[in-house]
Amino acid sequence: MRTPLYHEHLAAGARMTDYHGWELPAQYGGILSEHAAVRQRAGIFDVSHMGEILVSGTGALGFLQILLTHDVRRLETKPWVYSPMCGTDGGTVDDVIVCRYDGGFLLCVNAANTEKDFSWIRQNAPSDVTVENISERFAQIAVQGPDAFTLLEKADLSAVLLQSNTGYTGERGCELYVAPGDAPKLWRELTAAGAVPCGLGARDLLRTEAGLPLYGHELSEDISPLEAGLGRFVCFDKGDFIGRDALLRLRDSPSRRRLIGLTMQGRAIPRPGYAVLGDGIPCGAVTSGGVAPALGCNVAMAFVTSEAERYTIVIRGKEEPAVLAELPFYRRRK
């Protein structure tokens, strides 16, 4: 599958790759230069592969309160709400962003999960709620970095249907929702204004530095939001919701696994799946890892089942020392 910006990527010399069935740019001029552009100025990303599901009807708000772990009533004062969406066993079906749209509520979901999410939401929806997959109505462009909003002032945003001040890099920025036919013109205007095109490689470095979960790594149907360090998005006091009982049991369990951050003491690069040892005993595995250019070191996120004084990661058969670090690794300057 191709996004409406496919030919813009080719014109900019992007190296394309398959991402869950989508042809997306892996990089343009280089992952490190793209990373630096976002941290220092502004980068632009094609996120048109993300899915959009509209939930509407008289019972929509009440249904979302049951469907999602966060309190959707926060939309009374906030334009967007982030929330995990759990199964009855507390595992994460997906993590979504929700806003009010077209008389209902728009859920932005992970691209690889769009059909699964659509089926899950329809399966649980009551008769007074309508669920529609309207992904074909949108393209998405993310502008991220310290200069993001200054740069937006130089572009014609009249075609923008929705603007969310969200992102996946740890920097200031926004995500612009436009009709697919309007995306190429807006992309060209933003790059002409100074936004540097960035691919999946830079995006992954940025989100790892920012300690942001990636579905399939730090979140999955076998991983709860509590284990992933997202407890602040689980509102037990709002009333019943799908997975609440299982999450309450997990919350009170002293033996649950937890997500930690590790910084490498040497130059070895940790990768997903590498074993983590605590005080010499296997205790977990890396979920995401790699270089952290903004920090000048290599980092990893990992699930562990026990605390330790000394951690190592097994890389090519050798135990490489690592130090426990607070997540996120990188915090943007306010």
DSSP assignments along 53-74, one per residue: EEEESTTHHHHHHHHBSS-GGG
Are 14 and 27 contacting, i.e. CB atoms less than 8 angstroms apart? Answer: yes
Domain match, 192 and 314 both: no
Q: Which of 106, 134, 162 is the C-terminal boundary of a domain?
A: 134
pLDDT at residue 202 tops 80: yes
Number of structural domains the chain divides into: 3
Domain match, 38 and 80 both: no
Domain match, 144 and 203 both: yes
pLDDT tens track for 101-123? 999 999 999 999 999 999 999 99
Angle at 332 between CA 326 and CA 334, to 5 degrees: 120
- CA–CA separation, 308 and 301 (whole Å): 15
Domain match, 123 and 143 both: no
DSSP assignments along 301-319, one per residue: EEEESS--S-EEEEETTEE
Residue 38 belongs to a domain = yes
Domain match, 159 and 39 both: yes
Residue 60 belongs to a domain = yes
Domain match, 93 and 33 both: no
Contacts of 317 (CB under 8 A, 6+ apart): none
Please state the rounded mean pLDDT for residues 292-307: 96
Q: Which domain holds residue 43?
A: 6-47+138-209
Count H helices, E strands: the chain?
Answer: 8, 18
pLDDT at residue 20 tops 90: yes
List the CATH number of the domain containing 101. Answer: 3.30.70.1400
pLDDT at residue 319 tops 90: yes
Beta strands of 147-280 (E only): which ranges?
A: 160-164, 173-178, 196-197, 258-264, 275-278
- CA–CA separation, 315 and 274 (whole Å): 7
Domain match, 300 and 182 both: no
Domain match, 67 and 111 both: yes
pLDDT tens track for 247-280? 999 999 877 899 999 999 999 999 999 999 999 9
Q: Which of 146, 174, 209 is the C-terminal boundary of a domain?
A: 209
Residue 217 belongs to a domain = no
pLDDT computed for residue 262 by the predictor: 98
Domain match, 74 and 128 both: yes
Domain match, 64 and 36 both: no
Residue 150 belongs to a domain = yes
Please state the rounded mean pLDDT for residues 6-16: 98
- Res. 333 pLDDT band, cuts 50 70 90: confident
Residue 227 belongs to a domain = no
List the CATH number of the domain containing 17. Answer: 3.30.1360.120
Residue 231 belongs to a domain = no
**H runs (alpha helix) in 46-199:** 60-67, 114-124, 148-152, 183-192
Kindly report the average pLDDT of the chain as a whole number.
97
- CA–CA separation, 124 and 169 (whole Å): 32
Domain match, 173 and 311 both: no
pLDDT tens track for 58-76? 999 999 999 999 999 999 9
Strand, coil or helix: 241: coil
pTM score above 0.85: yes
pLDDT at residue 199 tops 90: yes
pLDDT at residue 334 tops 90: no
Please state the rounded mean pLDDT for residues 305-324: 96
pLDDT computed for residue 173 by the predictor: 97
Q: Which of 182, 209, 236 is the C-terminal boundary of a domain?
A: 209
Domain match, 36 and 154 both: yes
Strand, coil or helix: 128: coil
Residue 250 belongs to a domain = no
- CA–CA separation, 58 and 126 (whole Å): 10
What is the rounded end-to-end Cα distance, in angstroms, of the chain?
38
Element of type H or E holding 52: strand 51-56
pLDDT tens track for 30-58? 999 999 999 999 999 999 999 999 999 99
The token pair at 228 is: 């992933």
Please state the rounded mean pLDDT for residues 146-161: 97
- Res. 211 pLDDT band, cuts 50 70 90: very high
pLDDT computed for residue 255 by the predictor: 73
User: What are the residues facing 76 on neighbouring strands?
Assistant: none
- CA–CA separation, 141 and 163 (whole Å): 10
Residue 76 belongs to a domain = yes
- CA–CA separation, 168 and 156 (whole Å): 24
pLDDT computed for residue 256 by the predictor: 82
